[in-house]
Amino acid sequence: MREEADSSGTLVVIALDAADYRLARRWDCGNILLDNHGRIETFAYSKDEPITLEVWTSVATGVHPEEHGMSSTGEQQEWESPLLRAAGTVAPYVLSKDLRVRLGTALRGDEDAAGMTFGRTKVDHVFPEGGVYGWPGISSATHLSQTWHWLNLAQRGEITDVELWRRLYANAGKELGWAIGMARTDLSLVGVHMHILDAAGHAYANREEKLRAVYEHVDDMLGALRERVGTLVVLSDHGMQVSTIPGDDRPGDHSWRATFATTADGDRPESVFEVREWLEARIDTEREQSRTEAASLDTTREQLEDLGYL
């Protein structure tokens, strides 16, 4: 018999970038809002609006960008290739940003052959080793870099809308699949970042029906996750200004309508700086026992060699 979902002791955190609280409520997105939901206070540091890298690093560490060191004031991304990474350290001094973007786009190409990644803070964070995927400032976040690259290609007219969303939904599926798999491990806390609603907000800030369709599809995907995990948290770093909300004067810019939602009862954190403490108060650290014994297989080495595994 299949094990019931609520038997999982792993607390799963979905960092759903740009999930706008007002839009989620307007469209009745029950799996984004979960059972216990509200707005959460976010912040701006290097810009006049909340910035992905800065806020998500603060969520995981509980500290301000001045302490964790991750901000958008410099180059946020770096090349995975050591040669390109070395060249990238010199480029800001000799090339304009516009030229660097155009050269980088050309190097990455349509299939992102020369990939980029994000820097990581050296400050301690809430997630256990192996328990975080794609979180800006904490792990490599290559999927976020891919999304930015694909939006750049779309803005330049180099890929079709169909291809853009095929790629974005594929990445979203990988992210949620990782969360489902990790919820069955011994880890007490796991977290994954998803950038699909941010991409949708920038793409469809003036096209409500298209934006709503993405929200509803992501809500359905989160429903599949919700059925398979125990305690679930969905939160965002900011929302997105759209043309259909009075007072949103710059559609496509980030809004201050950040979301915090959970299946857990009780109080919610009031600020993104309080999320780490809130999570630590609710995880079962006794589940994570140090295991030093080596992995073992019942299949012999000779069998694996015959199969071509070795």
pLDDT, one tens digit for every residue, the chain (310 residues):
344 444 468 999 999 999 999 999 999 999 999 999 999 999 999 999 999 999 999 999 999 999 999 987 654 555 454 554 444 454 554 444 455 445 555 544 555 443 667 789 999 999 999 999 999 999 988 899 889 889 989 998 999 999 999 999 999 999 999 999 999 999 999 999 999 999 999 999 999 999 999 999 999 999 999 999 999 999 999 999 999 999 999 999 999 999 999 999 999 999 999 999 999 999 976 665 555 568 888 998 898 888 888 8
Domain presence at residue 126:
yes
> 184 CB contacts (<8 Å, ≥6 apart)?
8, 10
- The residue range of the domain holding 152 is 5-288
How long is the chain?
A: 310
Query: How many independent structural domains does the chain possess?
Result: 1
Residue 218 domain-assigned?
Answer: yes
The helix or strand, by DSSP H or E, that contains position 117, with its residue range, turns out to be strand 116-118
Nearest-CA neighbor of 78 among 115, 48, 111?
115
Residue 298 domain flag: no
Q: Give the CATH number for residue 74.
A: 3.40.720
- Evaluate whether residue 102 is within a structural domain: yes
Q: Distance between CA atoms of 66 and 35, rounded to whole angstroms?
A: 34
